[in-house]
Chains A and B, each alone.
Chain A
Amino acid sequence: MSKDKPATDRKLSWTQIITGEKSGIILKAGLEHAAQNLSMMVGREITITDPGIETIPIQNVISYGGNPETEMVGVYLLIEGDLRGQALLLLSMEDAMYLVDLLMGEDPGETTSLDDMGQSALAEVGNLTLSGFLNTVASLTGIPVKPSPPAVVVDMRGSILTMVVALVAAMSDELIVIESAFKDADRALQLRFWILPEPALDVLNKIN
């Protein structure tokens, strides 16, 4: 057995995860794991919505979810291994600072800008949620997944979102996204959780 599996195997794997019989169970388990990790980290209950599979034309991506010029925080990582793709947490500045307050044990409103410490706390949020999801998917499917360390980007929504489009657009004019959102009992968090499978034609065909 070669260590590098042929590309067809990888495509099939994402297809099964997104559209297969157990798709709902796998995705939900992954998201619940992500929410549990975040809950433990911030010391309060964070829940997560059921996963949706979105297909977004690349022309519409920059304004997906709001104004393309709004300042947002992205926590981004690459998914390597047998399943390939990208993962992104996208959150408003407000929610990012609220999370930093929770993580640092400060009163809400204490954090008013994102310094290095805040950014590294958010990187850890990305790590525990995105990698939490991916590890669960890996253990349920038996497909090894290797998430890269996360990077934090603070910039316009459009600029953060084009970052993920760039890796997809050579093959497709659409982004396929496994999407969910976190919820806090006290607060509607604008925290978008995105997993972006490496584009593969058979996945596109099955979804469209």
Chain B
Amino acid sequence: MTGNIHSVSIGELVVSKSPQGVLVAYGLGSCVAVCMYDAAGGVAGMLHALLPSASNSRDSGNMAKFVDKGVPLLLEKMKASGALKSRMEVYMCGGAQMLTAPGFNNTLNIGARNVAAAEAALKDLGLRLRVRDTGGNSGRTVKLRVSTGKITVRTLGQGEKPLN
């Protein structure tokens, strides 16, 4: 994929209006990437969150690492860049279960809990999820093209596939 790659790291949220821009979250495991897109406004945004909720955290620094805080922050930043909520397309990828061995229940649940937290946060904001690619046992790289809103998901087994 050509364009100006902008890597969205863990705990980051990036909003772009650059027509050449491509937002990329590499190697999502149990993390989720929530993507928002306003075609008419030419605004695309991606959140790469790691943990479902800020409520059990001792850390109050970077809120974008938490799904429950990061999703509303992403919407705010999209709006601040001129996106309209009524036009917003929302997508979600990630939330895999990386460990399938017994005895790792705590670690196992994080992916599913991230997905559930994102669903809840979107519902609270009155946003509907268009397409998702969540769960499973494989890591994903997610790319969002600012000019078209097209998203691709790459896994090691399946290669790169269009999501929308």
A positions within 8 Å CB-CB of B: 58-63, 68-69, 71, 76, 78, 148-153, 155-163, 165-167, 169-173
Question: Given A59-B11, A165-B50, A173-B62, A71–B156 Cβ distance below 8 Å?
Answer: yes
On chain A, the residues within 8 Å of B65 by CB distance are 58, 169, 173
On chain B, the residues within 8 Å of A161 by CB distance are 27
Question: Given A155-B156, A169-B50, A69–B99 Cβ distance below 8 Å?
Answer: no
Question: Is the beta-carbon distance between A170 and B101 smaller than 8 angstroms?
Answer: no
- Across the A-B interface, give the 3 residue pairs with the lowest CB-CB distance, nearest first: A158-B27, A159-B139, A159-B29
Q: Which size class do B's interface residues fall under?
A: 35 or more
Question: Is the beta-carbon distance between A173 and B139 smaller than 8 angstroms?
Answer: no
Interface positions of B from 67 to 106, Cβ below 8 Å from A: 96, 98-101, 103-104, 106
Question: Is the beta-carbon distance between A163 and B99 smaller than 8 angstroms?
Answer: yes
On chain A, the residues within 8 Å of B96 by CB distance are 159
Nearest Cβ on chain B to A127's Cβ, whole angstroms = 12
Question: Is B124 on the interface with A (CB-CB < 8 A)?
Answer: no
Question: Is the beta-carbon distance between B29 and A170 smaller than 8 angstroms?
Answer: no
Decide if the interface of chain B is mainly helix, strand, loop or mixed: loop
Question: Is B147 on the interface with A (CB-CB < 8 A)?
Answer: no
Question: Is the beta-carbon distance between B98 and A160 smaller than 8 angstroms?
Answer: yes
Nearest Cβ on chain B to A190's Cβ, whole angstroms = 17
Can you show 24 pairs from A to B with CB atoms below 8 A apart? A58-B10, A62-B26, A68-B26, A69-B141, A78-B103, A78-B104, A78-B107, A151-B99, A155-B27, A156-B27, A158-B28, A158-B29, A159-B139, A162-B10, A162-B29, A162-B30, A162-B31, A166-B51, A166-B107, A169-B11, A169-B59, A169-B65, A173-B59, A173-B62
Question: 6 more A-B contacts (CB under 8 A) besides A148-B104, A149-B103?
Answer: A69-B26, A155-B98, A163-B98, A166-B50, A172-B59, A173-B61
Question: Is B2 on the interface with A (CB-CB < 8 A)?
Answer: no
Q: Which residue of B lies closest to A158 (CB)?
A: B27
Question: Is the beta-carbon distance between B156 and A62 smaller than 8 angstroms?
Answer: no
Query: In the complex, A152 Cα to B56 Cα: how many Å?
Result: 29
Decide if the interface of chain A is mainly helix, strand, loop or mixed: mixed
B positions within 8 Å CB-CB of A: 9-12, 26-31, 50-51, 56-59, 61-62, 65, 96, 98-101, 103-104, 106-107, 110, 138-141, 154, 156
Contact of B29 among A63, A69, A155, A173 (CB under 8 A): A155
On chain A, the residues within 8 Å of B62 by CB distance are 173
Question: Is the beta-carbon distance between B101 and A149 smaller than 8 angstroms?
Answer: yes
On chain B, the residues within 8 Å of A158 by CB distance are 26-29, 139, 141
Question: Is the beta-carbon distance between B27 and A159 smaller than 8 angstroms?
Answer: yes
On chain B, the residues within 8 Å of A58 by CB distance are 10-11, 50, 65
Question: Is the beta-carbon distance between B101 and A167 smaller than 8 angstroms?
Answer: no
Query: In the complex, A188 Cα to B104 Cα: how many Å?
Result: 32
On chain A, the residues within 8 Å of B103 by CB distance are 78, 148-149, 151
Contact of A170 among B12, B59, B98 (CB under 8 A): B59
Question: Given A61-B10, A151-B104, A69–B27 Cβ distance below 8 Å?
Answer: yes
